[in-house]
Amino acid sequence: MTRRAATGVAGTVAATVLAVAALAWSTQGFRVLTLDGARAAAVANRPRPVPSAHVQDADGAAIPIAVPGMVTVVDFVSTACLSVCLAQGSEFALLQDSLGGGATSADRRIRLVTVSFDPDDDASRLRGWAEAQGATAPSWRVGRVAADDRRRLLETFGIVLVRDPVAGWRHNAAFHLVDGGGAVRRIIAANDPVGALRAARLLVDVAPDAGPTERSGRLAADRAAR
């Protein structure tokens, strides 16, 4: 091999090493290769407090994102979205069926909340979407967020929106688990309702009002079960 060729190979190797190192850094040691993976990893390491937000159902009743002593599974939709939102609605329907009206003490402490991010979703559209998906209050409530609170809420949950003339909206989707203290604790892939239900049941046992020693023990058990 000539000196010039050797130099070229060395340069290529060096560039490859730098690229791999950069990828490892930007993906948190190759653990994160997607936006949703990054959100999930960040929340698992540092739970994210949910800001106060005004969410109402089709009848104008307030829907709290967090309820003390409960775990809330949250997703975001638009009634005009004909792709991921319909799929997510079907996954939530599976969750609602699995909870079965609170067959166990843990399941009675899990609630579902769907929040519309679409400013065009009025009460009629919300009601129609909820009925079409089979959402039944109080176990699964569907509402819309006030315009003044929309950006803060979407930023907290890491929801990215893009208008689509065909599909209505394109956006990332997942099961977002909020504890009774009002913090996003876990983010589970949108196509994994079984994993979301398992994580919610585990999270029910981590009481936000537990004492420091008890809470630490439960958190350790939660992480060990992941």
Q: Are residues 22 and 108 in the same domain?
A: no
Judgement on whether residues 27 and 58 belong to the same structural domain of the protein = no
* pLDDT at residue 17 in the model: 38
| Number of domains present in the structure of the chain | 2
- 83 and 127 inside one domain: yes
- For residue range 48-61, list pLDDT tens digits in order: 999 989 999 999 99
Q: Are residues 127 and 195 in the same domain?
A: yes
Same domain as 137, residue 113: yes
Helix residue spans in the chain (DSSP H):
3-26, 35-45, 84-99, 123-133, 147-157, 193-204, 212-225
Average pLDDT taken over every residue of the chain: 79
For residue 177, pLDDT over 70 is answered with yes
Provide the whole-model pTM.
Answer: 0.75
Question: Are residues 35 and 82 both part of a single domain?
Answer: no
Domain that holds residue 13: 3-41
- Whether residues 188 and 140 share a domain: the answer is yes
Q: Is it the case that residue 3 has pLDDT exceeding 70?
A: no
* CATH number, position 144: 3.40.30.10
Mean pLDDT computed over 128-132: 96
Q: Which residues of 188-215 are buried (b: 16+ CB within 10 A; e: fewer)?
A: bebeebeebbebbbbbbebbbeeeeeee
The arithmetic mean of pLDDT across residues 132-149, rounded, is 94
- Tell me the mean pLDDT in the region 181-200: 94
Residue 127: alpha-carbon gap to chain centroid? 23
Q: Are residues 61 and 36 in the same domain?
A: no
pLDDT of residue 2: 59
Mean predicted confidence (pLDDT) in 178-207: 91
Residues 6+ apart with CB under 8 A from 219: 206
* 8 and 67 share one domain: no
